[in-house]
Amino acid sequence: MKKVSTVLVENFKHWGIHHVFGIPGKAISPILFELLRYELEFVLSKHEGAAGYEAAGYSLMNETIGVAIGTSGPGGTNLLSAAGQAKASNIPLLLLTGHPSMKDTGKAMGQDSSIFGTDLTAMFQSVTKFSARVERGDLLKPYLQHALEKAISAVKGPVHLSVPFDILLEEIEPFLLEFPRSQELISLHTGEVAKRLSEAKRPLLFLGKGVHSSKSYEEVQHLAEHWKIPVITTPGGKGTFPSNHSLSLGAFGLGGTPEASAYFNDGVDLLIVIGSQLSDMSIAGLTEAMYPEHILHFDYNPTFIGKSIPVETTPILGDIRSNLTTILKDIPQTDSDVFLSKIDLHPLEENATGKRMSAIQVLKAMRNALPEEAIVFGDDGSHSFYGIQHFDIYKPGTFFFDDIFGAMGNGIGYAIGAKLAAPEKLIVCLVGDGCMFMHGTELSTAYNYDSAVLFIVVNNGRLDMVEKGMRKMIGTSIGGIYETPLDTTKFAESMGLEAITCHTPLDIVEAIQRALTTIQKINKPFVIEALVDENEIPPTMGRQ
């Protein structure tokens, strides 16, 4: 017989998990003691929400499940945003929260997470795929198995278990759960896809973040090349298709390119949507006159199919990669090199006299200085929409951004967790000063646990999207400008990190070169602050 806390940690180790993220508290202390005993690294985050983001980034890069823990009451409520973010990003995540002892339920208790206090189990239900309280030791196995299967199956996502203190200490028969394989469901409509593609006169591929989730980069490229279909991406689909591909028209929606809009304007008879809900962020700027005649919509989740663009739609439900593999099984391979153009450096202009540099120039300088295999996590804000429009992708799977839930600070955590899961990869976090104000203390987490992320902070002293959006609507803004702007370099240095403030695009290039050398040499994170034009209009003003 073994304690529930022991069995939990043994399963983590069995699943190939080496890091667990969170903040200690009495209600979860039995788990922490077992992590120590089994030599799993407990990463002390600075906020439970950030711990959840870090666990999600770990999951994404490790292709397993991330684990974040928080104590009862506020420890659990702080994890709610991380759950919502993971659900929007389709990332498997196990959130464990503490709970005072079951034997004391109904009594007045501090940080009570039962129905008499803060009912965490109920709170997590709308932001996870499964949320339950383990009220007896013998319930751990069926509940944990069900949670794991829910997290991994179909549309992947977060799950939550609340385990009371006395249940964690209860002894049960030990067990090890095998990590489940996702059931790859295939649509009944795959047979008509090739026929429609062959008959289409002006088809268009529209890629969303479901391509990231399904890792179907090669299949999508094969589909586009065989039928010679132009490709656009949603904001969340950025990074799913190479920018230097002759069929790439760039992004559509917020941060979209003129080329993508022009193709839509000239008429589309068949729109092939792959892995997108077609949110308002993704179809910003799409007028009724631009609607396609028919849509083929690939997704696991049918909820939003046919809702955003009211035209005749054929749903291709099930696993995206499996469906594409079925469609392409008799299609000969294409030579992708024929479609790829030579990679050229962007010309970098000097600042206008007396002016700060443009955010566009920051992104172009980043692309010039970073190797093509660098993986960029874009935090939520106009800085990432500049990235969507101006940061070229040379290898699919190297840019991640969420255009649905949009929790500020998530990219900081995702990048830290991703680097711990894959220390051999170059991980970059593209972040704004607003996001850094929210979760910037996680720089300390990155430093303390050798998560050697390169943080590039685009700083214009304001909540840019909100501030500029208000000015567009009412001619002024309220609460969008920081009275005391963030001094990113001093902030980072106060937590032990090396940091540089840059004033020109050439400064950015030199700083990145120095950062890459430093990261390789001492395995510590590095911060680059880019001071940019406060009045530059971001590529996000097309949203209604």
pLDDT tens per residue, range 188-225: 889 889 999 999 999 999 999 999 999 999 999 999 99
**Rounded Cα gap, residues 364 and 274, in angstroms:** 28
**Rounded Cα gap, residues 515 and 511, in angstroms:** 6
Is residue 126 a contact partner of residue 155, using CB atoms and an 8 Å limit? no
The total of other beta-carbon atoms located within 10 Å of residue 246's CB is 13
**Rounded Cα gap, residues 343 and 370, in angstroms:** 13
Listed residue (429, 352, 427) closest to 383, CA to CA: 429
**Residues β-bridged to residue 153:** none
3-state SS assignment for residue 331? coil
Written as one letter, the residue type at 35 is: L
- Helices 382-390 and 359-369 cross at an angle (nearest 10°) of 60
CA angle 382, 387, 388 (to 5 degrees): 95
Query: pLDDT averaged over the chain?
Result: 93
List strands edge to edge, sheet with 231-233.
248-251, 231-233, 203-207, 270-274, 294-299, 312-317
**Rounded Cα gap, residues 5 and 96, in angstroms:** 11
Mean pLDDT of 30-44: 96
**Rounded Cα gap, residues 55 and 376, in angstroms:** 17
Whole-number pLDDT of residue 117 = 67
Mean pLDDT of 500-513: 97
Judged against a pLDDT cut of 90, whether residue 106 lies above it is answered with no
Mean pLDDT of 399-413: 94
Q: Phi, psi (5° rounding) for residue 410?
A: -65, -35
Judged against a pLDDT cut of 60, whether residue 444 lies above it is answered with yes
Domains and CATH numbers, the chain: 2-172 (3.40.50.970), 190-339 (3.40.50.1220), 359-531 (3.40.50.970)
Judged against a pLDDT cut of 90, whether residue 242 lies above it is answered with yes
| Confidence label for 110 from pLDDT (cuts 50, 70 and 90) | low
Judged against a pLDDT cut of 60, whether residue 108 lies above it is answered with no
DSSP-assigned states of every residue in 35-96 = HHHTTPEEEE-SSHHHHHHHHHHHHHHHTS-EEEEE-STHHHHTTHHHHHHHHHHT--EEEE
pLDDT tens per residue, range 50-95: 999 999 999 999 989 999 999 999 999 999 999 999 999 999 999 9
Span between the terminal Cα atoms of the chain, in Å: 60
Whole-number pLDDT of residue 109 = 61
Mean pLDDT of 478-496: 94
Listed residue (17, 23, 8) closest to 170, CA to CA: 8
3-state SS assignment for residue 468? helix
Whole-number pLDDT of residue 541 = 73
Q: How far is CA 493 from the centre of its chain?
A: 27
**Rounded Cα gap, residues 135 and 84, in angstroms:** 25
Whole-number pLDDT of residue 63 = 86
The number of residues in the chain equals 544
pLDDT tens per residue, range 269-301: 999 999 999 998 899 899 999 999 999 999 988
Please enumerate in sequence order all residues whose Cβ is within 8 A of that of 18, keeping only pairs 6 or more positions apart, or say none. Answer: 40, 41
CA distances from 226 to 96, 220, 332 (A): 46, 10, 8
| Confidence label for 486 from pLDDT (cuts 50, 70 and 90) | very high
Mean pLDDT of 387-394: 95
Q: And the tokens for 31?
A: 């788990």
Whole-number pLDDT of residue 181 = 80
**Rounded Cα gap, residues 277 and 303, in angstroms:** 8
- pTM value > 0.75: yes
Give the residue with greater pLDDT, 544 vs 226. 226
**Residues β-bridged to residue 430:** 378, 456
**Rounded Cα gap, residues 427 and 445, in angstroms:** 15
pLDDT tens per residue, range 142-194: 999 999 999 998 889 999 999 999 999 999 999 999 998 877 788 888 988 99
Listed residue (497, 534, 530) closest to 512, CA to CA: 530
Whole-number pLDDT of residue 468 = 78
Mean pLDDT of 34-45: 96
Classify residue 208 by burial, with Cβ atoms within 10 Å: 0-12, 13-18, 19+.
Answer: buried
Is residue 377 a contact partner of residue 411, using CB atoms and an 8 Å limit? yes
